[in-house]
Amino acid sequence: MPARPQGARGFHHPGHGFAVRLRVAGQYPRVAERGGAGSPAGAGEARIDVSHLSERLVGGAPPAPRRGKLKEVLAQVERELITQTLERRQGNRTHAAEELGMSRWGLVQKIKEYGLGA
């Protein structure tokens, strides 16, 4: 995890989750520096907009699923994640299972359950 720039102490984040996402994407120091983080807390609000963020952070999140029962929504998200991972891994189930953190057998069962493969 990158170290916070000296001027970022006291910088007000719009939410802890947002700050964590920035750190994970490796964007925290750049955004803090561009956003005016050198000013002391309470002296003014730094604004961060989409132009400050990398394409990886902005374009990486799939759209939120529609309303529904939790089980149905989770199944929809799981199906989409498996589909995207298989595409990225060019259909290689072993590599897709490793990336997803599951066994190959478990992935094969999910593929059958969701009717994803021949």
Q: Is this model's pTM higher than 0.75 or not?
A: no
The 10s digit of each residue's pLDDT in 35-49 is 454 545 545 556 666
Range of the domain at 38: 6-59
End residue of a domain, out of 31, 59, 87: 59
The 10s digit of each residue's pLDDT in 65-115 is 567 889 999 999 999 999 999 999 999 999 999 999 999 999 999 999 999
Domain with residue 86: its CATH number is: 1.10.10.60
Taking residue 11's Cβ as centre, other Cβ atoms within 10 Å add up to 20
Spatial CB neighbours of 6, under 8 Å, sequence gap ≥ 6: none
Cα-atom radius of gyration of the chain, to the nearest Å? 20
Answer yes or no: is 35 within a domain. Answer: yes
Residues 38 and 79 reside in one and the same domain: no
Residues 75 and 34 reside in one and the same domain: no
